[in-house]
Structure 1
């Protein structure tokens, strides 16, 4: 009897203990780049160094931790108005105006989000527009935008690991894991006890 139950109980114990491997998720901490399309933000298909926005365009940047572009955090300003953002920057002949939304991340650990209106040459890229209103910018050797207005001071698209938070801090295995392991152990003990009381097959 015991020999028959052990192959079933051991996988159950491994399954309980194996749940700890799912407590982490990898992501990247970086500036994502967005186009304002109609009434919503769209993840930009090109980088700011190659995008050449039209006069009157609204574009955004958001600093956050994201696993990939599919779940990247959008700028929190959900209704940016070009006319309002560029109200203090009158049109100039031979130039274009681009409204920029710069969201530095959560209020707890970053400067507040801000908007700016860049007046640049008609063929200027978004990167050039950004440089006129949010210096200093910092790039890495691969021309990846690492910092806007000096934020963050260090790092560039660094990989981070986000751990799932528990209701209360504790040391050692979680209560759920201990309870599951205990239940499996009790089942094994009961099987052994029963096998000793009954004749063996």
Structure 2
């Protein structure tokens, strides 16, 4: 059974984000660093030492522990160093404090930040309650994507399973590049871009069917290390 508690600055609610680290690295390599460019997308964050940390894998593979927090932020960013974090601290104790534990489940605090007007796509406006938090009580084996799906709907994905929209925002588009929007950056963590379809979430509402597999980035880095080691040998 899944229990959800949502809050939205005085009300109960939630939100989401995410991007495939593998896709980010691939597109970052293709984007000329000399050009000022950014990407408008939902980024995925995990809590560490009381702060938000840019996730090294996608929400479909990340499995947050009981009492942990995950965050999603929609923003226009050039790289992971300047990527906008959720604007509230990952306070799992506060968000899930009134949700009693239950055998066979875990409690995951979810924070969703829809960003500000400067991050909004042309012709769109962020929801009034731009910051939403909620506590998802999900099975112990649940992924971050499962926790997100438990607390916010609808979720929109493109044909490559990239998370494009949360609670109807943005209404269209998915991780487009925005040229000359930001200062040039040396390494842009780019979300899969180019598709503007409005494919709905997979049946069941769960991105666990193949969303944002950021682990590909880890594999790519590992492969480079092995290649270097062989050359030295």
Q: Same fold (TM over 0.5)?
A: yes
Task: Give unpaired runs (5+ residues) of structure 1.
Answer: 1-23, 165-201
> Residue 170 of structure 1 aligns with which residue?
none
3-state DSSP class of the match of 2:36?
strand
Q: 1:136 Cα deviation (Å)?
A: 0.8
Which residue of the other structure, out of 85, 90, 111, is the alignment partner of 1:80? 90
Q: Deviations over 1:6-27 (max 9, x none)?
A: xxxxxxxxxxxxxxxxxx7211
Task: Give unpaired runs (5+ residues) of structure 2.
Answer: 1-34, 119-124, 183-233
CA distance in 2, matches of 1:150, 1:121: 26
Query: Which structure: greater helix fraction?
Result: 1
Q: TM-score, normalised by structure 1?
A: 0.65
CA distance in 2, matches of 1:107, 1:95: 38
Q: TM-score, normalised by structure 2?
A: 0.56
Task: Answer whether contact 2:164 2:170 (CA < 8 A) is retained.
Answer: yes
Q: 1:95 Cα deviation (Å)?
A: 0.5
Which residue of the other structure, out of 100, 112, 125, is the alignment partner of 1:102? 112
> Residue 73 of structure 2 aligns with which residue?
62
- Corresponding residue pairs, total: 140
Alignment pair present for 1:161 and 2:176: no
The 5 A counterparts of 1:164-183 are: none
Q: Which runs of 4+ in 1 moved over 4 A?
A: none
- Of 87-96 and 152-161, more deviation after overlay is shown by 87-96
3-state DSSP class of the match of 1:76?
coil
Q: 1:72 Cα deviation (Å)?
A: 1.1
Greater relative contact order, per chain length (Cα 8 Å cut-off, separation 6+): 2
3-state DSSP class of the match of 1:143?
coil
The 5 A counterparts of 1:118-157 are: 118-157=136-175
Alignment pair present for 1:91 and 2:101: yes
Q: Which has the larger radius of gyration?
A: 1
Q: 1:157 Cα deviation (Å)?
A: 0.4
- Of 108-117 and 50-59, more deviation after overlay is shown by 108-117
Alignment pair present for 1:116 and 2:160: no
Q: Deviations over 1:44-70 (max 9, x none)?
A: 000011111111111111100011223
3-state DSSP class of the match of 2:104?
coil
